[in-house]
Amino acid sequence: MTTEASLHERKEKMRAIRDEIIALTQSPLYAYRVKNSALPVIGEGSHAAKIMCIGEAPGLNEAKTGRPFVGAAGKFLNELLEGISVKREDVYITNIVKDRPPENRDPTPQEIELYGPFLDRQIDIIQPRVIVTLGRFSMNYIMQKFGLDFDIEPISKAHGKTYTATASFGELKILPLYHPAVALYNGSMRDVLKKDFEVVKKFL
Ligand code: URA
């Protein structure tokens, strides 16, 4: 059960993460953030969420607003959540990399290594029952984090499957999905993502 006191503690821990990321001058993305008056994107949603959705890195709209998944891909993520009758505010949504890479390029291994520990701490704070990874970077990071390296397959094979992992706070399920952005330029992917998302319902 999540008590008021533990929710307060979670909020404080999340705030500490935010402050550290704001001051992360050693990040290769820090100068770009400042030059473009962009914001880091820490994450948003319920600190008692059962579901945690983890994307790759903020895009333009996210860096403008400081909120994850608010652009076109985010609208589709909202649709996916609606499709399984889950409110966006009841989920915790974040990314591995917390600052926008220039021109939305893929995050580098160094960036993933630098920002990954913040995500690790967020997972420990939220203690989700299900982690939905959005895209291959997130899938690879989470599978490796939970020692499932040998189970890693290309996302074309892994999407919609469920993996069981053991976290410090208990057992959780990992559900790799395609990144919602792929549905924006490939209409048939919309249905694949919707179908894969249905699996989440089993664990609520
Ligand atoms: N794509 C991501 O991976 N994360 C966001 O927050 C937005 C788009």
- Region 15-23 average pLDDT: 98
Name the amino acid, one letter, at 125: I
Query: What does the DSSP assignment read for 16-66?
Result: HHHHHHHT-TTSTTHHHHHHTT------EE-TT-SEEEEES---HHHHHHT
Which atom belonging to ligand 1 lies closest to the Cα atom of 55?
Answer: 3
Task: Give yes or no for residue 204 having a pLDDT over 90.
Answer: no
pLDDT of residue 34: 97
Q: Are 115 and 124 in contact (CB under 8 A)?
A: no
Q: Are 134 and 54 in contact (CB under 8 A)?
A: yes
Cβ–ligand 1 contact at 101 (below 6 Å):
no
CA angle 109, 107, 81 (to 5 degrees): 120
Question: Which domains are present in the chain?
Answer: 4-203 (3.40.470.10)
> What pLDDT digit, counting tens, does each position of 28-69 carry?
999 999 999 999 999 999 999 999 999 999 999 999 999 999
- Region 97-121 average pLDDT: 97
Where residue 147 falls among pLDDT bands split at 50, 70, 90?
very high
